[in-house]
Amino acid sequence: MARLVAVTACPTGIAHTVMAAEALRRTAALKGHAIEIETQGAEGVGTRLGDAAIENADAVILAADIGVDESRFAGKPILRTSTARAIRETGHVLDEALAHVATAPPAAPTPPPAAEGGKLLVAITACPTGIAHTFMAAEALKQAAQARGYRIKVETQGSVGAKNALTAEEIAEADAVIIGADTHVTTERFSGKRVLKTSVGDALKHADRVVSDALALPAPTGAAGYTDTVAEAKAQQKEAQSGPYKHLLTGVSFMLPFVVAGGLIIALSFVFGIEAFKDKGTLPAALMQIGGEAAFALMVPVLAGYIAYSIADRPGLAPGFIGGMLASKIGAGFLGGIVAGFLAGYVARWLRDTIRLPTNLEGLKPVLVIPLLATLAVGLMMIYVIGTPVAAIMNGLTAFLQGMTGANAVALGLLLGGMMALDMGGPVNKAAYTFAVGLLASNTFTPMAAVMAAGMTPPLGLALATMVAKNRFTVQEQEAGKAAGVLGLAFITEGAIPFAAKDPLRVIPACMAGSATAGALSMWFGCGLRAPHGGVFVLAIPNAVTPLGSYVLAIVAGTVVTTLALVVLKRPAETVSTVPASSRVPAG
């Protein structure tokens, strides 16, 4: 055991001074060393080091951002560093201080062997700023895990984004997951793992107990059902996304609740009459104000903001939202929002990675420097360079689609329908859906109707086929068909994925034929849908879909075509040959 003394000091002596002292004290204790710490700042000296402590010390640590009198430490090994480094890299600071000691301290006891069942832990630490407590908690967890013989990887999250991000492979290998956070942390990627959630303060002060509690959690149990299989397929699709496509879908996923809520509320206003909202002060007018003037007004800014967030993390949010709002005001629509989102994200990320500030001012980057500079750049580009031509493109596209009839409408319906069934929730499916959703803000409703009808028919057609052609499906598939039918009614195209993954060469063409039929008929009838999700459940709202009878006919026709194609293409279950693994289409 080594004996250390330290001085921590920042200009105010309030935040970094105290946090650096706490980090050094905590980490030294975990490493088995004794340490005494003096804090200095604008208000003077706190807990001054005594002469005896200095005399007996093996090494001195000066974690200071201001001048410190070193005369009393003459003859002692001194390590000079900053408060920020003492907070973020506490273990390294202590090790470097001890390296200055002429006589090495006694070797630390050999850590106990790893607990049964695994040797890796993963964790996330996060506080609102992600500057001090986040890194201190990460260091404390590392020391506690290592003391138990475990490897550990800690992802830190804060206002400048995530660092040391966990990979899918590391999460899969991990014995348990620790979330030490005072902000929201998404946990979908940890499905099937033992997850302990606690505060960042608890992870910092009681790291040993937190690690013990995480390892003591019972292992998740339960057999996967059909809906679990569908959820796993969707997760695999999301994991496979990368690059600009991933950023676009992130924006779309955050935008959808605004569009769905707004669309349904607008549809509710039509219950009182298609133009009842024009009477000021009435309930229909209030509903239109909520859905059309509020929810739909946020649609493009949210799309742009979260595209930027996906690219640059939190620094991209402000320029992304503001760029999206400008796109709406200029009339550039969802196309302008997409452009603004990508522009804001890449500008913010470049600024985040390029700008270097003194340690004392590092906290200003995410709250002042990056939002200011990125917003100025994106705003000026949208107003003077990008906005007008994108608005012209958007207006031309809207006019073309609204005037589309006859063969052109049928051709678009065939294309959108086939895209919805080609990969059932994958990139092609999402491209068609995003195109239709984006047009809702421009009062173009026919593509949305075609897309939802086409998205419902694959699982509905499979469900019907398992009932009318049972000899084509195993008993397990017949049971799965019931769940697929429910998912189809709710417009969850992914309900067909397990069938497609098992027999892609027959199921996918059959589903595409039915979806293309549904999409083409919907466009031929001129059906319009004001709500971008909900399946059959939105059909009960008057005027949400027009004309309703023709729209139902399109869905039924597409379902029947899929069923007939499956009956023709699939062989009786007892003679179905196994499709070679090389020809199988992975889910998504």
Other CB atoms closer than 10 Å to residue 407's CB: what's the count?
Answer: 9
127 assigned to active site: yes
Gap between the Cα atoms of 547 and 98, Å rounded: 79
Mapped onto helix, strand or coil, the DSSP state of residue 469 is coil
How far, in Å, are 161, 231, 277, 500 from residue 587 at the CA level?
30, 11, 44, 8
Tell whether the torsion through CA atoms of 164, 168, 172 and 177 is positive or negative: positive
Contact in structure between 576 and 529 (CB atoms under 8 Å): no
Closest CA to 83 of 26, 144, 22: 22
- Token output for 95: 């090790």
Bond prior to 542 in cis (omega within 30° of 0): no
Closest CA to 6 of 43, 34, 41, 30: 34
DSSP, res 74: T
Torsion of CA 478, 480, 482, 484, to 10 degrees: -130
Catalytic residue, candidates 10, 127, 511, 527 = 127
- Token output for 249: 């879908």
Q: Which long-range contacts (CB under 8 A, 24 or more apart) does 193-197 make?
A: 193/220, 194/218, 194/219, 194/220
Instruction: Just list the catalytic residues.
Output: 127
